[in-house]
Amino acid sequence: MSAGLAPRAKTGPARRVVIVALGVTQILAWGSSYYLLAVLGTPIAADTGWSLSIVVGGLSLGLLAGGLASPIIGRTIDAKGGRPVLAISSLLMGFGLIVLGSAHHLATYVAAWLVLGVGMGCGLYDAAFATLGRAFGNEARSAIVSLTLWGGFASTVCWPLTAWLLDAYGWRGVCFAYAAVQLGFSLPVHLLLMPRLQPRSNSGRIPEIQPADPSAPAQRQAFMLFSVLVTLGGAIASIMSVHLLTFLRMRGLDLSAAVALGALFGPAQVAARVVEMTFGNRYHPIWTLAAAKGLVGLAVILLLARIPLAGLAIITYGAGNGVWSIARGTMPLALFGPSGYATLIGRFALFGLLAQAISPSIAAVVLDRFGSDAVLSVLAAMALVNASVTAALWVFLARTKQSGQP
């Protein structure tokens, strides 16, 4: 099913420089957008008088905007490479953070998050994966794994930095400081160190699915199966990231204990990615996908098993989420090849980001009315569906190999 190799970058910095540069800007992009309200949410609510749910709702609107823009972003990367799109991301994030720091009215606050959301769509993992896939073709897997290792440090680096800036300059000063980072550092890095690629005109397709093509039904089946995984994976990840401390506190832990246990997530995520980076080239990405879905499902079940296993559950979830980020970038490359890869990533990102935008609010309603066990039971059911879909995708790959399709 794989198409021919994508064109490699003809000019620009070496591969390692590209990965390191993109890794640093990924840390800063995640820290100044997706992870921002973890520290600033309560101070913004206290200063403005808006409810915390309204403040956090800004991020949901941003994710929604980013998700809707993702297909266009993917097609643009396929056509022109990731360099201009990543540069636009820095511009949008910088401008959005300036507007956010200046927001005294709710309409301005919402507008800021809509701009930030499109910036996230242009600059976070999906766009970064698409950039590497477009630049390095079939050899992009190791680059994607290396990039997620960098990205795993985003909360570790930026949460303390944000807290320090908050104490020194207030939440508005934090926004202006991160805006300066995006415009003064990330923008020139993207312009100077990302590969310059020749434009191509045959982008925008899931590689050549035509009604007369005998492989088209199989490609559609693979697309649908992986779309389910991305959608449910995005929903589970966003619910866990938003409500994990609440789950722990409803188990009887105080806030300090819950935060201490929650801190296990980051190291577990990075450790799992190190294992994948060390051994990943020795096996097909379907093994990474199966490990991710199995570990996430096991973590949810362990959380249902109450406090004594909470630490193990968080470590297990961190490891599963860490390798899921890798599988999300490498499985489409293995299924469809590098031709049209960026467009595919954009389409999958639409499903994942929409799920991330909507699911935490729905989970909050269920949590308020029925408690944490109800939410965790729903998550367990979603994890079971994911496991079933992963098994179906594994069978699909085996049948494809037996049929001799490329």
CB-based burial of residue 261 (10 Å sphere; 0-12 exposed, 13-18 middle, 19+ buried)? buried
Four-point Cα dihedral 374, 301, 223, 282, nearest 10: 160
CA 40 from chain center: how many Å?
21
From CA 398, how far away is CA 139, in angstroms rounded? 22
Percent of the chain's residues with pLDDT above 70: 89
| Structure tokens belonging to residue 128 | 């970064």
Question: What is the structure's pLDDT at 210?
Answer: 37
Judged on CB neighbours under 10 Å (0-12, 13-18, 19+), 359 is: buried
Residue 6 has pLDDT above 50, yes or no: no
Candidates 372, 360, 385, 398; CA nearest to 293 is 385
3-state secondary structure of 210: coil
SS3 262: helix
Q: What is the mean pLDDT of residues 172-199?
A: 93
Query: Predicted confidence band at 85 (pLDDT cuts at 50, 70, 90)?
Result: very high
- Mind listing the domains of the chain with CATH numbers? 15-193 (1.20.1250.20), 216-403 (1.20.1250.20)
Q: What is the DSSP string of 267-313?
A: HHHHHHHHHHHHHGGGS-HHHHHHHHHHHHHHHHHHHHT-GGGHHHH
Output the six-digit token pair for 82.
């990731």
Tens digits of residue pLDDT in 7-32: 444 445 688 899 999 999 999 999 99
> Residues 80-91: what's their mean pLDDT?
94
- Give the integer Cα–Cα distance in Å for 136 and 8: 5
Which residue spans within 116-273 are E strands per DSSP? none
**CA–CA gap between residue 171 and residue 32 (Å, rounded):** 12
